[in-house]
Chains A and B, each alone.
Chain A
Amino acid sequence: MSFNLDVFWAALTSWVFFEAALISVALAVLSHASAIAISMPLALGLDSRSKVVRIAIRLYVGVFRAIPTLLWLLFFWNALPQFSPVFREAWYTPFIAAWVALTVNEAAYQVEINRAALSSVDKGQTSAATAFGFTPLQVFRLVTLPQAARVALPPSVNEFITLLKATSLASVISLQELMTVTNQAVATSFQFQEYYAVAALYYLLIVGLLTLLQSRVERRFDWTVERRARRGWLGRFTEQRQ
């Protein structure tokens, strides 16, 4: 067994791997953001008075959660262009296809998280806001959302980590993300250890940074510490909220 440090170091510091890692992160961030955007109205819709709406959302969650992410990726890249020539044009890149596939898949998971978070907000909190004359939108923005966000944060970060790793599946549709680049490097050199180590290190680094960020945000959400004691860079965002 011989681990070639030079190959490892060269790959780790290469633009190719760095760019691939960026693509992985960008795909995960974009997919999660759009999934959250989609899942918010769906989560609210689960408590809708209309039975049709509730059943439609349940159906969406059921279907998109049951089918493997890999199959969604293959479907959106290979099968969708057969439906319409629109998807055969140049704009429909592997990145776009992966973004769509991961979004619809992830939104189904995020719906449950959001709903649990929204329903965890005590009714007394919203009725107090209503009693003081807040509009329904103000009640949501100023009371429900910040309180639900705290509950949704830890499981959402978990989801994001899962999603980040799921971006590696996009190697099957030739997206030049981290795993694709790794496989290509391995295929020509057979230096498995070195390149796998590089990929592993990148994933570790990304998740590590994210965990750090999470603990910063969670400290912001700690409503048992006197405000004066806490002044972080995130303060600027949360302070404006109330």
Chain B
Amino acid sequence: MNIVNPASGAASFDTPRIAVRDLKKSFGKLQVLHGVSLTAPQGSVISLVGSSGSGKSTLLRCLNLLEIPDSGDIQIDGETLHFDPAKPSGGVQPRQIRRIRSSLGMVFQSFNLWGHMTILENVIAAPVHVLGVPRAQAAERAHELLKRVGIADKHNFFPAQLSGGQQQRAAIARALAIDPKALLLDEPTSALDPELVAEVLQVIKDLAIAGTTMILVTHEMRFAREVSSSVVFLHRGVVGEMGPPDQIFDAPQTEACRRFVRSEFGV
């Protein structure tokens, strides 16, 4: 499962894959995001960490517009969406929303593979129905991706027949099948039995090495430290601190981050 992409180290950092400026989001009276800004250069792996309720998952869902932000800007590979709080859906057209969604691969905590489709059908569904890729071509690519995540022999099975780890790897293959600008992973190992976590983390690590841009919400601090190019500590809906993993985990600058790191590592 070793994936080597020689270009990964030399990627252009000029146009970030994903940039977020002053993003705000409320649910009713509860404001979850109070103006978040961050940048994910091409080939970077950004880990979003923070205690529950800090807005990590909401931020991720805002990035692929499962939640429509109230205000702010999201820039995906040079295309900027500006959310105008005065207009419904922030003034962004459904067509544009769908285009952004289909350019980002989402991986969910509870996999959310479509239960009535085989693994192969799951992987080709978005390419065929959203991107209009011919079925045969999509299937060929799907087999490649399933091989890449180590479940080539499971293509004819239904999700319910696989272990959690296998399902999550299939979900990663499904997300990769749309050739995404970036992968968004929402606590990809939180629903897994401990012994199945490693196989999924290995796949994510391989993708990181291959230069896949990823934004990852995680509670696996040791893993975040290992794969991230930078770690974003979210605190009460704003970026509390961000920097390379060494800084966040060894020398946090803020009191809130220090306390979080201490509680996570149990020291």
Contacts and interface: CB of A to CB of B under 8 A. Distances in A.
B115 interface: yes
Contact of A131 (B66, B99, B117): B66
B114 A128 contact: yes
Interface in B73-122: 98-99, 101-102, 106, 108, 110, 112-118, 121
B157 A131 contact: no
A138 B101 CA distance: 14
B190 to A, nearest CB: 14
Contacts of A122: 112, 115
Interface string B158-175: 111100000000000010
A45 to B, nearest CB: 22
A133 B102 contact: yes
Contacts of A125: 112, 114-115
Interface stretch (A89-97, A110-118, A140-148): A140-148
A135 interface: yes
Given A133-B99, A133-B126, A133-B130, A224 B156 contact: no
B54 interface: no
The residue among A124, A146, A150 with the most chain B CB atoms within 10 A of its own CB is A124
Interface residues of A, number: 26
A228 interface: yes
A221 B99 CA distance: 32
B84 to A, nearest CB: 22
Given A125-B112, A147-B116, A150-B116, A132 B158 contact: no
B102 A129 contact: no
A135 B101 CA distance: 11
B46 interface: no
B98 A127 contact: no
Contacts of A228: 156
B228 interface: no
Contacts of A147: 115-116
Interface string A199-242: 00000000000000000000001011111100000000000001
Given A132-B130, A134-B126, A143-B114, A223 B160 contact: yes
Interface in B125-163: 125-126, 129-130, 156-161
B106 A131 contact: yes
B130 A224 contact: no
A78 interface: no
Contacts of A142: 114, 125, 129
B99 to A, nearest CB: 7
A242 B121 contact: yes
Given A132-B178, A143-B114, A124 B108 contact: yes
A228 B158 CA distance: 11
Contact of A129 (B99, B114, B156, B161): B114
Interface of B: 64, 66, 98-99, 101-102, 106, 108, 110, 112-118, 121, 125-126, 129-130, 156-161, 174, 178
5 contacts: A127-B108, A127-B112, A133-B102, A223-B116, A226-B156
Q: Which 6 A-B pairs have the closest CB atoms?
A: A133-B102, A128-B112, A132-B126, A124-B112, A133-B101, A131-B106
